[in-house]
Amino acid sequence: MNRAFALCLLFVPLAAIASGGADAAHHATLLLWIAVILIAAKLGSLVERVKQPAVLGELLVGILLGNLGLIGIDVAAELPSEPIIAFLAELGVVVLLFQIGLESNVQQMLAVGARATAVAVVGVAVPFVLGTMIVGPWLLPGLDAKAYLFIGATLTATSVGITGRVFRDLGCLQSPEARIVLGAAVIDDVLGLVILAVVSAIVTTGSLDPTGLAWIIAKAILFLTGAIVLGQLAAPWFSRGFARINTGIGMKLTVALVTGLVFAWLASLMDLAPIVGAFAAGLMLDDVIFRDYDRPQLEADIDRALAGADADTRTRVGAAVQAHRHRHLEELIAPIGHFLVPFFFVVTGMHVKLDLLADPHALAIAVALAVAAIAGKIVAGLVAGPVNRWLVGWGMVPRGEVGLIFAATGMGLGVVTASTFSVIVIMVVVTTLVTPPILAWLIRRQAP
Amino acid sequence: MNRAFALCLLFVPLAAIASGGADAAHHATLLLWIAVILIAAKLGSLVERVKQPAVLGELLVGILLGNLGLIGIDVAAELPSEPIIAFLAELGVVVLLFQIGLESNVQQMLAVGARATAVAVVGVAVPFVLGTMIVGPWLLPGLDAKAYLFIGATLTATSVGITGRVFRDLGCLQSPEARIVLGAAVIDDVLGLVILAVVSAIVTTGSLDPTGLAWIIAKAILFLTGAIVLGQLAAPWFSRGFARINTGIGMKLTVALVTGLVFAWLASLMDLAPIVGAFAAGLMLDDVIFRDYDRPQLEADIDRALAGADADTRTRVGAAVQAHRHRHLEELIAPIGHFLVPFFFVVTGMHVKLDLLADPHALAIAVALAVAAIAGKIVAGLVAGPVNRWLVGWGMVPRGEVGLIFAATGMGLGVVTASTFSVIVIMVVVTTLVTPPILAWLIRRQAP
């Protein structure tokens, strides 16, 4: 009987069907939570009234939702660790960096390549030296020397999601400052890999394996150059291939999204952050690659309506339509971004537990550490060349989750203690929250 | 130390951070699988070459992916039960029914209300009687009388996702036949609730609790009338309120999506399917409700470009733009649909395990059961009034996952045996797969 049943079962997840009630209820609850997160994010955009970028509002409503437990409402406490919500947040930042990549291209990024590299190298070296040799031993005396190595490493990481979003919220993604920060953040991710490998090797084996290190660097460079060079060759071919099946807008959107997702996966295969891959895919793709696909229906309808018009009108309306055509891909991805990106920032905010701030000693040390973290990146901004160097420096300030992964690795190796870890966590929160208002202020100040 | 740590911990999911490696790797793998599912769905749309609706292709590539195990490649075997993929599939069908609702409105649905009700009632009564009294005892002799009740109940359920998608793929959502089928499917969901409650009560306690039954019906009617009546009053107010924060396209999209998600949740709170709620929300919303929001940038640019044109051209181009304005909300949701809807159909396909079809005895019984299931719905089509009755009847045929939930409930109560369950599963698969080509053929035949 049992065997016949196993043989006969046409649908796999019998357990899922049998427990359909529980699963369905969980899914329905998630639908509500998705709605709550989306609407909370939009309520957060009230901060635009006080000239702050919307992303700050999303972080703040996240902090509010995540700390309702402090006033006895713990309904949302488990939410940021709910696997589906956590994945939507990750997918959100991947889509964000893909969108940011779409608004630029490889040539524009290469044009700022040297300056971005300089900013990245200084922005890693200065905070590392500061953390390892000066502020670490001074603020947290008596720790093992290896702990200071990890504190220094934590100070080097740049998390590009916050800055990219601020530049985007304020319409500055096309500025040279934004490009330098984005380029530097990508290089930072590679340098971060190297530092993490070196520091971990020193702590665990006491020595460095040069082959392993070379391989880490080689993989990262292989991905960045290989994906972009081969990608630029393959993308038009891939795009034309799928246009033979169907030239609809759904196909165009799918081919673009799939490219972003595959690049994100490839990046993580090379130990880089998935967002680096999504950004590279966005840089590579543009509307020219998709010229075989259908035009938006509205364009065709307008063309028809213009048939009898004078040449002058046709030229002017044609120019207005043309100005939008090269943004069509961005406009297609935009709704998916509106849907997914807020998850990343609201969930990031929800991870912040305010009760930690109640410990004045830890808070003081963390703020001092944050000042060092900020100073190190502002020094990096100074080598950015003839641009607004403050903007570049502050753009590199947010540490985000990258710093936490470093700190958690140190804790896993038994080098970073729990109390040091919590200090690092506050430092990350401080750098994340002070950056949006300061960037907004710097951008407004330079606008005419 | 431990307490200090607990106090000091600013971020909740320490475990998630510490296990960041494993989580990150799982997320990266999912990014790849999402890409695979999306691109497979688009490869499936090759069936359009042989004049089949794209949804059939999505189901077929799903079956292909889900049965790679038969040729020794079991890489995708676990995928349909992966919680995140399963949720994306559920979200996909919610978005689909929301989109289908957006293309119609409450008045249009009420206009076919009486006919839809007739179709639903006949389409539930005939298959139930057929299953319980005739084909059940004839095809599967010797079972408990209670088992036949469940077989009959399974034959009543209509799963509207497949049919809605076929009508949409073929551009027929505005036909009276499509409206009757959609309305009947909603009423079917209510009748299904009642049948499941009645049959379960008879099987478990042997008697019926009239108060409980009245409450089930009351809740469903309360939701359908209440949500639509109150919703139509509240939606403009809700929409204007959020327009005060921000009139951007992102806000418009979010307000619409959130309405769909909250209605889906409310429906499931009333024990209705979430897709019924999403459909009701879509019916309720239209672009008029969102008139306080920004117009698409292209429209404003075209207006400016038309400043010097003659009155005739302005009128014609204005009409072309106007024709799109009332579809702006649908166009905003469309990319999210292109992203999420394929998950539902590919995952549905992946659930089909072909090895069951190797049992000729079960297959024969299941096909006979499917014939009864189809006949019952075709009889229902006959009461649809002066429309293409075959189209209505066949539109009600797919049983989808609703029938499986009934069968699984029966198995949970110990009434439906494992081999009966597998027969029911094949019946569901047959009704799901034969419907798209037959509907496409019926629609093409009636087109001039």
Whether B306 contacts A313, CB under 8 Å:
yes
Contacts by residues B129-136 (CB-CB < 8 Å, ≥ 24 positions apart): B130/B155, B130/B372, B130/B375, B130/B376, B131/B155, B131/B156, B131/B369, B131/B372, B131/B373, B131/B376, B134/B372, B135/B368, B135/B369, B135/B372
At A11 the pLDDT is 34
**What's the pTM value of the predicted model, to 2 decimals?**
0.89
Name the residue among A406, A405, A394, A346 with its Cα closest to residue A370: A394
Q: Greater confidence, A401 or A34? A: A34
Q: What is chain B's Cα-based Rg?
A: 24
Confidence of residue B411 (pLDDT cuts 50, 70, 90): confident
Six token digits for residue A147 = 């702990």
Lowest mean pLDDT among A366-370, A374-378, B72-76, B105-109: B72-76
> In chain A, what residues touch B429 (CB-CB under 8 Å)?
10
Whether B413 contacts B350, CB under 8 Å:
no
**What is the value of ipTM here, to two decimals?**
0.87
Does pLDDT of A92 surpass 90? yes
> In chain A, what residues touch B83 (CB-CB under 8 Å)?
83-84
> In chain B, what residues touch A310 (CB-CB under 8 Å)?
309-310, 313
What pLDDT digit, counting tens, does each position of B320-336 carry?
887 777 788 999 999 99
At B35 the pLDDT is 97
Confidence of residue B99 (pLDDT cuts 50, 70, 90): very high
What pLDDT digit, counting tens, does each position of B254-269 carry?
999 999 999 999 998 9
CB contact under 8 A, A274 and B31: yes
Does pLDDT of A172 surpass 60? yes
Q: Greater confidence, B423 or B30? A: B30
CB contact under 8 A, B5 and A404: no
Instruction: Read off the DSSP letter of residue B224.
Output: I
The alpha carbon torsion through A188, A192, A195, A200 (nearest 10 deg) reads: 180
Task: Tell me what percent of the residues of chain A surpass a pLDDT of 70.
Answer: 94
At B278 the pLDDT is 93
Contacts by residues A389-393 (CB-CB < 8 Å, ≥ 24 positions apart): A390/A442, A391/A175, A391/A177, A391/A439, A391/A442, A391/A443, A391/A446, A392/A119, A392/A177, A392/A180, A392/A181, A392/A184
Please compute the mean of the pLDDT values over residues A247-270 and round it to a whole number.
Answer: 93
Q: Greater confidence, B11 or A175? A: A175
> In chain B, what residues touch A13 (CB-CB under 8 Å)?
80-81, 86, 351
* Type of residue numbered A84: I
Please compute the mean of the pLDDT values over residues A32-53 and round it to a whole number.
Answer: 92
> In chain A, what residues touch B293 (CB-CB under 8 Å)?
none
CB contact under 8 A, B17 and A353: no
Confidence of residue B124 (pLDDT cuts 50, 70, 90): very high
What pLDDT digit, counting tens, does each position of A110-142 carry?
888 899 999 999 999 999 999 889 988 888 888
Q: Greater confidence, B394 or B18? A: B394
Q: Which residues contact A262 (CB under 8 A, 6 or more apart)?
A: A281, B31, B32, B35
At B10 the pLDDT is 32
Query: What does the mean pLDDT of chain B come to?
Result: 85
Query: What does the mean pLDDT of chain A come to?
Result: 85
Whole-number Å distance between alpha carbons of A236 and A285: 9
Name the residue among B256, B250, B121 with its Cα closest to residue B184: B121
Question: Among partner residues B9, B254, B425, which is closest to A422 by beta-carbon distance?
Answer: B9
At A6 the pLDDT is 31
CB contact under 8 A, A31 and B274: yes
CB contact under 8 A, B274 and A246: no
Please compute the mean of the pLDDT values over residues A96-113 and round it to a whole number.
Answer: 88
Lowest mean pLDDT among A277-281, A400-404, B170-174, B419-423: A400-404
CB contact under 8 A, B335 and A334: yes
What pLDDT digit, counting tens, does each position of B268-323 carry?
898 888 888 999 999 899 888 888 888 777 777 887 887 777 888 888 888 888 77
Does pLDDT of B217 surpass 70? yes
- Determine the residue of chain B that is closest to A277 in CA distance: B28
Domains and CATH numbers, chain B: 29-286+331-446 (1.20.1530.20)
At B17 the pLDDT is 39
The alpha carbon torsion through B159, B163, B169, B172 (nearest 10 deg) reads: -140
Tell me the CB-side half-sphere exposure of residue A297, using CA atoms within 13 A. 12
Confidence of residue B240 (pLDDT cuts 50, 70, 90): very high
CB contact under 8 A, A301 and B310: no
Please compute the mean of the pLDDT values over residues B216-232 and round it to a whole number.
Answer: 86
